[in-house]
Amino acid sequence: MIPLSIPHLAGNEWKYVKDCIDTGWISSAGAYVTQFEQMVADYAGTRYGIAAVNGTLGLHLCMHLHGIGQGDAVLVPNITFIASANAVAYTKADPIFIDVDPNTWQIDLNLLEQFLVEQCEQKTAGCYLKATGQAIKAIMPVHVLGNMCDMERLLNLANEYHLLVVEDSTEALGSYWKGKHAGGFGKMGVFSFNGNKIISTGGGGVIVTDDEALAKRAKHLSTQSKVDPLRYFHDEIGFNYRLVNVLAAIGVAQMEQLNTFIAHKKRIDAHYREQLDGVGDIRFQKVEAAVDANCWLFTFSTSQREELLQYLIQQKIVSRPFWTPMNQLPMFQQNLYITQADYSNQVHADSLSIPSSVNLTEAQQAQVIAHIQAFFEQRPNQ
Ligand SMILES: *Cc1c(COP(=O)(O)O)cnc(C)c1O
């Protein structure tokens, strides 16, 4: 079986974990947490990093600490992993879904602009939906597959309409837009270290920001809003969202290898693009010239997605269809969905992710490519 995207633990992971166990520092205090936070922040070119138990709850914390709650709305792309929308929903705010660009699969900025101009109004330092008066507090761009949209245009629109920007950068560690790292564009950004991400701590996340006050508050809220370490005094309702030291230790070891991992991912991506170009009706995700993507998970489109998926499963090649669009999920069907042509549905129906692990061998990749070529050769007329 050739896996899709699995962790690669080839560095100091064992050494640092052993250190935690030998010293007894396995839990929520310990030097690896601080070191990991700083390593991720430095990598992303931001000042502060706040570790969290996972990316989903990191995003939730960002929403919560900006006071987003019941009655508010947050703009989220319609093609994303469920966690982005859930992070908004946990606060009782309503995600408003924006359709995606059919080529880049990122939030469609033309559509966003049109929506803001036609359906929203700015009042003093706020943005409101004309139809209902609902306050739109924030926008959460998602760097889908480590690709990015035109961040300057997005920030300008957000600025003009007084929208807070929190980046779902969970897939974009190692991705840059015009030389600036993902996660550093908005007020806050969040990375994930789930098992399938470019580096992994098993589960984990880091929130990044340049804002000292926000960083302090995020840390405070993530540690049960404890004020006095001795007397159990807590000054507001907080959360237990900390990442434990033993997982941060793995994170430190993984960060040490990140540049090598990205180089591997880029090689895998380039080779797939070269070998699959012109095969059947395969179309690649478009990456604009301004973007230096981390090439986390190779994904392409074909009108025969379903048949190809079944075929690859039979060949023991793990492949995955793309996420079901948010507007099609039962709990979000009543939410506002801004679209003209429902490109989300097309991207969802046609896209397939194929094996892209850091440790994918050349022989394995050749096998994946050969099977995909064979599949399309058997179906020349479709
Ligand atoms: C992985 C991911 C998350 C959530 O991260 P976890 O660490 O798994 O909670 C959020 N959004 C997107 C787009 C993701 O891919």
Does residue 83 have its Cβ closer than 6 Å to ligand 1? Answer: yes
Closest ligand 1 atom to Cα of 83? 10
Does residue 54 have its Cβ closer than 6 Å to ligand 1? Answer: yes
- Band (364; pLDDT cuts 50, 70, 90): very high
- Band (123; pLDDT cuts 50, 70, 90): confident
Closest ligand 1 atom to Cα of 87? 10
Does residue 7 have its Cβ closer than 6 Å to ligand 1? Answer: no
Report the pLDDT averaged over residues 272-286. Answer: 97
Report the pLDDT averaged over residues 226-244. Answer: 93
CB 354 within 8 A of CB 276: no
What's residue 380's pLDDT? 62
pLDDT in tens, 186-218: 999 999 999 999 999 999 999 999 999 999 999
How many angstroms separate the alpha carbon of residue 374 from the centre of ligand 1? 34
CB 262 within 8 A of CB 295: yes
Residue from 40, 53, 54, 56 whose mutation best tests the ligand 1 pocket (most atoms within 8 A of CB): 56
How many angstroms separate the alpha carbon of residue 316 from the centre of ligand 1? 26
Report the pLDDT averaged over residues 152-169. Answer: 97
Closest ligand 1 atom to Cα of 192? 7
How many angstroms separate the alpha carbon of residue 56 from the centre of ligand 1? 6
Q: Which residue, judged by its Cα, is nearest atom 6 of ligand 1?
A: 55
Closest ligand 1 atom to Cα of 58? 9
3-class SS letters over the chain: CECCCCCCCCCCHHHHHHHHHHHCCCCCCCHHHHHHHHHHHHHHCCCEEEEECCHHHHHHHHHHHCCCCCCCEEEEECCCCHHHHHHHHCCCCEEEEECECCCCCCECHHHHHHHHHHHEEEECCEEEECCCCCEEEEECCECHHHCCCCHHHHHHHHHHCCCEEEEECCCCCCCEECCEECCCCCCEEEEECECCCCCCCECCEEEEECCHHHHHHHHHHHECCEEECCCCEECCCCCECCCCHHHHHHHHHHHHHHHHHHHHHHHHHHHHHHHHCCCCCCEECCCCCCEECCCCCCEEECCCHHHHHHHHHHCCECCEECCCCHHHCHHHCCCCEECCCCHHHHHHHHEEECCCCCCCCHHHHHHHHHHHHHHHHHCCCC
Question: What value does the mean pLDDT of the chain take?
Answer: 96
Does residue 2 have its Cβ closer than 6 Å to ligand 1? Answer: no
Does residue 147 have its Cβ closer than 6 Å to ligand 1? Answer: no
How many angstroms separate the alpha carbon of residue 151 from the centre of ligand 1? 20
Rounded distance, CA 90 to CA 123, Å? 27
pLDDT in tens, 72-118: 999 999 999 999 999 999 999 999 999 999 999 999 999 999 999 99
Residue 381 has pLDDT above 60, yes or no: no
**Residues whose CB is less than 8 angstroms from the CB of residue 169 and which lie 6 or more positions away in sequence, other chains included:** 44, 143, 175, 182, 183, 189, 190, 191, 208
Rounded distance, CA 127 to CA 261, Å? 41
